[in-house]
Amino acid sequence: MINLALKKWRAKEPSLGIWSNLPDIHMAEMLCRMDVDWICFDLQHGLMDYSDLTRLLPAVTGVATTPIVRVAANQPDQIGKALDAGAQGVIVPMVNTAEDARRAVSACRYPPQGSRSCGPMRDAMLEGPGYLATANEQVACLVMIETEEGLRNLDEIAAVAGVDGLFVGPMDLCYGLGLAPGSFTDPAFSAAIANILKACEQNGLASGMFGYNAEMAASSIQNGFNFASIGTDISFIRTGALQALSTARGEDNEDAPVARGGY
């Protein structure tokens, strides 16, 4: 297995991806064939569960897009099942301490580097035993920094061996800083982002941002992040529908309804 997105992240090359919240196989199949580097299936907040994942991940097979899963919690069984189903990496939420980070890494790695139980169902079917020889090197372990506690322990988290990158959930980071949602220009938010990027740079980690739209993704890359999402399947549908409705009604752009929210 070669994780093409992880290869880009390690080389610090800009990388764009798509966020998937809907358990629609055809949507996933279409999106991952649009020359994006990765697609993330969201089991934490998305409208999908593990049974959906077993159908969504095969839709990515055979293309260059790397399938990632945001698990619902930092639990070995959830991380292991996502990887066994064919994910090439996980995004782990609410990582607040170095111990949290070590637990996430351990769940991603086979012994002796970790404690992942051996049973890679889809990967074994597709690749055979060869998967086991490359999995520890090619599975991406990304941990989220989104709380005040996580920021306090940022340097210790970033220094944990086996963490491949830090990922920012901007709304939760706002909440963690005691800011109103969407306060992305607040000095406290900007300072937190600068500290996260610095920690990634010092520890050789990739830096990722949940981008709510293409503009936010472009800005994130321009400001030093290695990878960002350009939006979600839901936001694409909502924005496209509103634009089509506005055009059909002959409304001027200034009067057109605006699609708000990234989900």
Q: pLDDT per residue over 192-217, tens digit each?
A: 999 999 999 999 999 999 999 999 99
Residue 62 binned pLDDT confidence (cut-offs 50, 70, 90): confident
Closest CA to 174 of 165, 183, 187, 161: 183
Measure the CA–CA gap between 237 and 5, rounded to whole angstroms.
Answer: 25
Q: Which residue has the higher pLDDT, 120 or 2?
A: 2
Domain membership flag for residue 260 = no
Segments forming the whole domain that contains residue 67 = 4-255
Domain membership flag for residue 261 = no
Tokens coding 245: 């409705």
Provide the percentage of residues in the chain whose pLDDT is more than 70.
94
Beta strands in 161-262 (DSSP E): 165-168, 206-209, 227-232
Helix 76-84 to helix 98-108 angle (10° resolution) is 30
Q: What is the pLDDT of residue 259?
A: 46
Average pLDDT on 22-27 reads 96
Q: What is the pTM assigned to this prediction?
A: 0.93
Whether 235 shows a pLDDT value over 90: the answer reads yes
Phi-psi category of 71—alpha, beta or left, where left has phi over 0 and alpha has psi -120 to 50?
Answer: beta
CATH code, domain carrying 149:
3.20.20.60
Domain membership flag for residue 262 = no
Whether 260 shows a pLDDT value over 50: the answer reads no
Domain membership flag for residue 215 = yes
Query: CA torsion sign, 65 to 87 to 71 to 204?
Result: negative
Domain membership flag for residue 121 = yes
Number of Cβ atoms within 10 Å of the Cβ of 79: 25
**Number of domains present in the structure of the chain:** 1
Whether 254 shows a pLDDT value over 60: the answer reads no
Q: Which of 12, 33, 45, 102 is catalytic?
A: 45
Q: What is the pLDDT of residue 261?
A: 47
Domain membership flag for residue 11 = yes
Is there a catalytic annotation at residue 26?
no
- Peptide bond before 112: cis, by omega within 30 degrees of 0? yes
Domain membership flag for residue 263 = no
Domain membership flag for residue 14 = yes
